[in-house]
Structure 1
Amino acid sequence: MNTAKKLRRSTEGGYARGDETRNRIIEAAVDLFGEHGFDGASTRDIAARAGVNAPALQYYFENKEGVYHACIEAMTDRAWQTLGPPVEHAQKVLSEDADTETLIDAFIGIQDAIADTALAKASKPGRRLFFAREQAGYEPDSATKIISSRIREPLNNATAGLVARISGRAADDPITLIRAFSLHGQLMVFHVAHRSTLTFLGWKTIDAEKAELLRSTIHAQTRALLEAWSRERDEALAAAAKSTR
């Protein structure tokens, strides 16, 4: 399996990140992979949409799989710039004897970052469709492995750890995992089911004001649930202490 071809000049981090031509090819490829899927998008169409000739695409990426991997790498890097800081903060909070309010705030911080990435993608059809196809399992497994190792695993571990501490359950308890995933699902539905969202709400698009309404409403729901689970934890601990007297 081939990976993206290395450039013939000095690069930083494996790619010439500031190279306009390369970035233009990636942007065009994201749109076409989103519209037609990996199998349906051709390198010829990608090159044409990017306004370059086929040799230029081959120079940067060698083949279609190389282009696809570059798209995944670019989207993952961009997502981690937003998600990385709150996830790392949550990991720090979990390593300390933090109180419940701090744990809840850390979870809301991660959720806020997810909102930024999900709602930004929702406004860009190509990115939304690219992500939806990958989520549905229609695209190369190699892409899923990159996203899982760099985004999903640290994100899921942090959020499951926070819900576990808040609720008093184990981090690998199925209830903990379902709760953590469902809290994120509140946001992701507005990204994945974009058309249904707009139809149901009677909106034409999700502008900044509407995005803030979604964000604040979901934050309030999340906080209410986390606080309820923390009360359940405290009640269970109190009952256990009482039974041992």
Structure 2
Amino acid sequence: MNSAKKLRRSPEGGYARGDETRHRIIEAAVEMFGEHGFEGASTRDIAARAGVNAPALQYYFENKEGVYRACVEALADEAWKTFGPAIEKAQEALDGNADTPALIDAFIRIQEAIADGAFAKASKPGRRMFFAREQAGYEPESATQILSCRIRDPLNSASTAIVGRICGLPATDAIILIRTFSLHGQVVIFHVAHRKTLSLLGWTSIDTEKAELLKSVIREQTRTLLEHWSRERDAALAQTAPATAAGTRTKTRTRAS
């Protein structure tokens, strides 16, 4: 996929106006790609929704693939504003060998960032469908590569590292991966099965009050599970400690004899 072209206008020649036009095209394109997919959305229709003429898309992005890449990059920039601070705090907790309560707080902060992002997309059907199509593998693979590199990999890495530290297992252990994905799945379900979950709850949308209720329930469940797993870790360590001490005493007596 070709990279989106940079603006050709100089700042003195109206950069601010050109930048606003570029942003408007991207916003319209996200909606169109979400509604119709990459193949179904035409540059002519994107231009019409953005209120510009069709050649403007070629001027700013070269072709439809350039428009799509620009959309993904813009969405990644926006997502990092939501996830970035939580991921950075989590990394600080890991690097500083924080205690279990602090690690749990760091994980919940990540989870709530995911919730904020999911609920924000839920209020914008075009964006929600854009991500749904991309995650289902129906759109250009480069989109997945960009989002994985910039957002998903750092988020998953921090999340699994925290859960692994709490459970006393490597972050790559299958149990840790399953537990992490299951914890985040509490949030993701309201994004991937948006209409069904709303129907079951008898809601028409997720407003601020409902979002806080969801986050509160998920937060409590997550904290309960993480605390339980930390107790399992401590119990396992307590069981191995006597055996280790006994082995050490045996070796000492053997050397002495």
Range of TM-score over shorter length: over 0.9
Deviation at 1:242, TM superposition (A): 2.5
Q: 1:17, 1:23 within 8 Å by CA — same for their partners in 2?
A: no
- TM-score calculated relative to the size of structure 1: 0.95
How many angstroms apart in 2 are the aligned matches of 1:7 and 1:84? 27
Are 1:83 and 2:88 matched, yes or no? no
Q: 2:29, 2:68 within 8 Å by CA — same for their partners in 1?
A: yes
SS at match of 2:114: helix
Are 1:145 and 2:149 matched, yes or no? no
SS at match of 1:204: coil
SS at match of 1:213: helix
Q: CA RMSD in A?
A: 1.5
Are 1:180 and 2:175 matched, yes or no? no
Specify every segment of 5 or more residues in structure 2 that has no aligned partner in the other structure, as ranges. 247-257
Q: What are the residue-to-residue correspondences of 1:46-195 with 2, within 5 Å?
A: 46-195=46-195
How many angstroms apart in 2 are the aligned matches of 1:17 and 1:68? 21
Q: 1:72, 1:146 within 8 Å by CA — same for their partners in 2?
A: yes
Aligned position for 1:197: 197
Select the structure that is richer in helix.
2
Deviation at 1:2, TM superposition (A): 1.6
Are 1:239 and 2:232 matched, yes or no? no
How many angstroms apart in 2 are the aligned matches of 1:173 and 1:107? 18
Output one character per residue of 1:17-45: Cα deviation in whole Å (capped at 9) or x when no partner.
98221111111111110111101100011
Q: 1:33, 1:130 within 8 Å by CA — same for their partners in 2?
A: yes
List structure 1 runs of 4+ shifted beyond 6 angstroms: 15-18
Q: Aligned AA for 2:121?
A: K
Deviation at 1:118, TM superposition (A): 0.7
User: Identity over aligned residues, as a percent?
Assistant: 72
How many angstroms apart in 1 are the aligned matches of 2:164 and 2:17? 39
How many angstroms apart in 2 are the aligned matches of 1:102 and 1:179? 19
- TM-score calculated relative to the size of structure 2: 0.91
Q: Aligned AA for 2:23?
A: N
How many angstroms apart in 2 are the aligned matches of 1:76 and 1:6? 17
How many angstroms apart in 1 are the aligned matches of 2:23 and 2:8? 16
Q: 1:29, 1:71 within 8 Å by CA — same for their partners in 2?
A: yes
Q: 1:128, 1:191 within 8 Å by CA — same for their partners in 2?
A: yes
Output one character per residue of 1:148-190: Cα deviation in whole Å (capped at 9) or x when no partner.
1100111111000000000101111011011111111111110
How many angstroms apart in 1 are the aligned matches of 2:184 and 2:17? 31
Q: 1:7, 1:16 within 8 Å by CA — same for their partners in 2?
A: no
Deviation at 1:146, TM superposition (A): 0.4
How many angstroms apart in 2 are the aligned matches of 1:163 and 1:186? 15
How many angstroms apart in 2 are the aligned matches of 1:151 and 1:231? 31
SS at match of 1:19: helix
What is the count of residue pairs matched by the alignment? 242
